[in-house]
């Protein structure tokens, strides 16, 4: 029986993962080693009960008692706190879903790789902050990383049987988000509620807002470089409002292989769950005659500077990804709290990158996760300062 663990089980990706596992037979077909969540204790307890999980962990120590009570008499062990989440990854599972949001997802994924688990990676922040370390850890332990981000799953699928040396370019698409057609003065007044309303995808709050600012696509540019080892000049972003084509791979004979599918994360999650097989999945079948038209346009770097910042990060390399992600997370927190306007998120990130480049130098390649986490911490401090100066 295959063993699985899900980090971030209570979130959007986590719930879709549980749904697919349920459809494949749930506790009869899989041994669930660990499920982790944050504050959604009722959902975590329901999932643990349904999948007969051996361990359930909440990230928050103050939620421990509630989780313990909810799982009393079930045989599921309960733990709490970030360290307990990292330790849950030391309980080896064959297949591990990394779907915690933010830099908090880095450590458990890293630990899972050190036990040779197959890591289904939704947490793009892991590759952005520590790509080379993560890929090296996988190689060292003969572990496999499978992309779950829809664009990267699409590229991965387009590359099956192909020679990476024949790849001339990789194009990842962006819907453009709810503000695709907004002008600068409208963007200055955009609210978190407007930013979260993604036109095509149903996702967690943070990634939805990142989609509106194109910071999500910025993270994905870096993710593409790190995962596939492709030069940044060969990676392009194309705005495609229908979110039907997820990525295209261009080869040296002029062919473009496109991956099309509905905007349903269960495709990419299911592909990673069933890999290397392809199995039937409960996603809508596209009716292209009804869809009729697919549109493409170039992204606007003036209204959406996040992509340009990501190019800078890829050029700098080293610790720049960790600084970029941390600054973005802090800026996002302040936008959600109503403390800074929507366009100020990119300003905060730009300032943090500039300050840290002068202070400490971001070009140094990290040798371990501690260096990454130190840069993450420093960038958060600088981002808080930048936000304070804007008040
Ligand atoms: P959600 O916000 O829906 O879920 C996040 C999960 O992480 C929840 O289980 C949450 O717990 C938990 N969590 C939050 N903060 C912490 C923390 N500090 N420590 C431990 N656990 C925590 O996010 P999504 O599912 O949307 O996204 C998850 C990851 O997948 C992100 O990295 C995102 O970029 C990526 N991704 C998501 C896609 C999507 O369609 N949603 C598409 C592609 C990539 P709780 O809710 O119980 O508090
Ligand atoms: Mg994506």
Quick one: which ligand is closest to 224's CA? 2
In this prediction, residue 379 has a pLDDT band, given cuts at 50, 70 and 90, of: very high
Say what the pLDDT of residue 201 is. 87
Distance CA(66)–CA(88), nearest Å, equals 19
Please state the pTM of the whole predicted model: 0.97
Is residue 377 annotated as involved in ligand binding?
Answer: no
Q: pLDDT tens digits, residue range 35-91?
A: 999 999 999 999 999 999 999 999 999 999 999 999 999 999 999 999 999 999 999
**Is the per-residue pLDDT at 286 higher than 80?**
yes
The mean predicted confidence, pLDDT, of the chain is 97
pLDDT number for residue 6: 99
Residue with tokens 């600054």: 327
Q: Residues lining ligand 2 (ion), CB within 5 A? A: 149-151
Question: pLDDT tens, 94-109?
Answer: 999 999 999 999 999 9
145: nearest Cα among 158, 133, 163, 129: 133
* Residues 342 and 213: beta-carbon distance below 8 Å: yes
Cis check: omega of the bond before 42, within 30 degrees of 0: no
Rounded (5°) CA angle 20-22-24: 70
pLDDT higher than 70, residue 360: no
d(CA 68, CA 305): 45
Looking at residues 356-382, what average pLDDT do you find? 92
Q: How confident is the model at residue 258 (pLDDT cuts 50, 70, 90)?
A: very high
359 pLDDT higher than 80: no
Say if residue 358's pLDDT is above 90: no
CB of 133 closer than 6 A to ligand 1?
no
CB 7, CB 105: distance < 8 Å: yes
Strands 256-260 and 235-239: unpaired
CA distances, 365 to each of 133, 320, 368 (Å) = 10, 9, 9
Res. 149: pLDDT tops 80: yes
Q: Which helix (H) or strand (E) holds 78?
A: strand 77-80
Over residues 134-147, mean pLDDT: 98
Which residue among 101, 215, 227, 243 is best mutated to probe the pocket of ligand 1, counting the most ligand atoms within 8 A of its Cβ? 101
* Mean predicted confidence (pLDDT) in 18-24: 98
State which ligand 1 atom lies nearest to the alpha carbon of 13: 25
Query: How far separated are the first and last CA of the chain, in Å rounded?
Result: 56
From the CA atom positions of the chain, what is the Rg in Å? 20
């Amino acid at each position: 029986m295959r063993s699985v663990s899900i980090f971030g089980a209570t979130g959007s990706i986590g719930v879709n993962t549980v749904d697919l596992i349920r459809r494949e037979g749930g506790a009869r077909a899989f041994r669930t080693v660990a499920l982790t969540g944050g504050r959604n204790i009722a959902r975590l307890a329901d999932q643990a009960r349904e999948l007969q999980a051996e361990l359930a962990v909440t990230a928050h120590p103050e939620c421990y008692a509630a989780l313990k009570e909810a799982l009393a008499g079930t045989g599921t062990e309960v733990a709490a706190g970030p360290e307990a989440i990292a330790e849950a990854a030391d309980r080896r599972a064959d297949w591990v879903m990394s779907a915690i949001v933010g830099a908090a997802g880095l450590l458990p994924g890293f630990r899972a790789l050190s036990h040779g688990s197959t890591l289904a990676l939704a947490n793009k922040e892991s590759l952005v902050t520590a790509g080379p370390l993560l890929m090296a850890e996988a190689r060292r332990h003969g572990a496999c990383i499978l992309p779950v981000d829809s664009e990267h799953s699409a590229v991965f699928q387009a590359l099956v049987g192909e020679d990476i040396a024949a790849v001339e370019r990789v194009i990842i698409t962006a819907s453009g988000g709810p503000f695709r057609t907004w002008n600068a003065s409208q963007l200055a007044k955009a609210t978190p509620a407007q930013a979260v309303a993604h036109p095509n995808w149903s996702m967690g709050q943070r990634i939805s807002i990142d989609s509106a600012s194109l910071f999500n696509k910025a993270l994905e540019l870096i993710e593409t470089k790190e995962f596939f080892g492709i030069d940044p000049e060969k990676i392009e972003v194309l705005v495609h409002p229908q979110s039907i084509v997820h990525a295209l791979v261009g080869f040296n004979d002029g062919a473009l292989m496109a991956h099309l599918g509905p905007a349903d994360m269960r495709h990419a999650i299911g592909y990673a769950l069933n890999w290397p097989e392809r199995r039937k999945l409960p996603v809508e079948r596209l009716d292209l005659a009804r869809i009729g038209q697919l549109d493409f346009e170039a992204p606007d770097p003036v209204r959406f500077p996040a992509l340009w910042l990501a190019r800078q990060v890829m050029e700098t390399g080293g610790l720049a990804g960790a600084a970029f992600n941390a600054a973005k997370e802090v800026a996002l927190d302040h936008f959600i709290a109503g403390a800074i306007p929507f366009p100020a998120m990119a300003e905060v990130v730009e300032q943090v990158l500039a300050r840290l480049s002068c202070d400490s130098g971001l070009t140094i390649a990290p040798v371990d996760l501690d260096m990454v986490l130190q840069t993450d911490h420093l960038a958060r401090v600088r981002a808080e300062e930048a936000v304070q100066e804007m008040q």
